[in-house]
């Protein structure tokens, strides 16, 4: 069993019988599982994992409910995909949960295959999220290396403006612009303007506001 490949499954349910059964089922299917008796304990654990992960969450629990936890998690930059499980699924609350980004909403008792299908969707979603996040982190690290002037030149480069035009606007020599540009391209690890535009877009860097 290669748990790292399969991903990590967090289970939050106040019922020990259910927790234990799910842990056993998920383990038998090759998942690494961590279980928590309450939303609070899950939050305080830090719930970090190496590979993709998802959360199997009971709706009705004493203290913080499943929905409360979903709300809390979605406020952070990284939201783990959630599969809700409930003993008495009602349509309005499930719709709300799905709108808030839940992967699925399963009524207890559920077929193992339904759960596994949902888990595989959730993990895929999480692995994409994680890739995007790590890429953004990398780009951010590069951006952080630029000087203030270099960042300014970057915002002009991604508008597609020529060095001459940039020099005119900033009232510096074209030669200086060219030198900065070289440094920006190197520091950002890109070889073309198109590539620079693509990665800066991901971080939401705004091009210089220039009127034509």
> Is residue 130 packed enough to be buried (19+ CB in 10 Å), middle (13-18) or exposed (0-12)?
middle
* Residue 145 beta carbon to another protein: minimum distance, rounded to whole angstroms: 50
138 near another protein, judged by CB under 8 A: no
Q: How many amino acids of this chain bind another protein (CB under 8 A)?
A: 21
Q: Which of 60, 124, 136, 149 binds another protein (CB under 8 A)?
A: 60
Of 65-73, 109-117, 122-130, 148-156: span binding another protein (CB under 8 A): 109-117
108 near another protein, judged by CB under 8 A: yes
Residues within window 17-36 making contact with another protein, judged by CB under 8 A: 17-18, 20-22, 24-25, 27-29
Q: Which of 12, 73, 82, 85 binds another protein (CB under 8 A)?
A: 85
CB burial string 161-170: b at 16+ within 10 A, e below: bebebbbeeb
Residues within window 163-202 making contact with another protein, judged by CB under 8 A: none
Positive or negative CA dihedral for 97, 71, 39, 64? negative
Q: Which of 87, 160, 182, 189 binds another protein (CB under 8 A)?
A: 87
| Closest among 137, 132, 136, 125 to 7, alpha carbons compared | 125
* Residue 3 beta carbon to another protein: minimum distance, rounded to whole angstroms: 14
| Closest among 113, 212, 91 to 161, alpha carbons compared | 212
| Length, in residues, of the chain | 212
Q: Closer to another protein at the Cβ: 40 or 108?
A: 108
**Interacting residues of 81 by C-beta distance below 8 A, sequence separation 6+:** 54, 55, 101, 102, 103, 121, 122, 123, 125, 126, 129
**Interacting residues of 119 by C-beta distance below 8 A, sequence separation 6+:** 7, 9, 26, 31, 54, 56, 83
117 near another protein, judged by CB under 8 A: no
15 near another protein, judged by CB under 8 A: yes
Rounded to 5°, angle at Cα 91 from 86 and 97: 65
* Residue 30 beta carbon to another protein: minimum distance, rounded to whole angstroms: 9
Q: Which of 50, 68, 71, 112 binds another protein (CB under 8 A)?
A: 112
Q: Which residues bind another protein (CB under 8 A)?
A: 15, 17-18, 20-22, 24-25, 27-29, 60, 85, 87-88, 107-112
């Amino acid at each position: 069993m290669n748990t790292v490949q399969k991903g990590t499954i967090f289970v939050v349910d106040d019922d020990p019988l259910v927790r234990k059964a799910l842990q056993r089922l998920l383990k038998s299917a090759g998942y690494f599982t961590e279980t928590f008796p309450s939303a609070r304990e899950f939050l305080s654990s830090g719930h970090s994992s190496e590979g993709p992960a998802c959360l199997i969450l009971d709706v009705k629990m004493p203290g913080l409910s499943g929905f409360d936890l979903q709300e809390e998690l979605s406020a952070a930059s990284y939201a783990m995909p959630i599969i809700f499980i409930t003993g008495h699924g009602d349509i309005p609350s499930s719709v709300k949960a799905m709108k808030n980004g839940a992967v699925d909403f399963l009524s207890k008792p559920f077929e193992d295959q339904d759960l596994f299908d949902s888990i595989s969707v959730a993990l895929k979603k999480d692995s994409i999220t994680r890739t995007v996040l790590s890429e953004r982190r990398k780009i951010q690290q590069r951006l952080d290396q630029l000087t203030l002037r270099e960042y300014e030149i970057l915002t002009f480069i991604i508008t597609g403006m020529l060095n001459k035009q940039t020099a005119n606007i900033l009232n510096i020599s074209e030669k200086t612009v060219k030198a900065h540009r070289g440094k920006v391209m190197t520091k950002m690890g890109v070889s073309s303007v198109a590539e620079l535009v693509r990665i800066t877009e991901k971080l939401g860097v705004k091009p210089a506001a220039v009127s034509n």
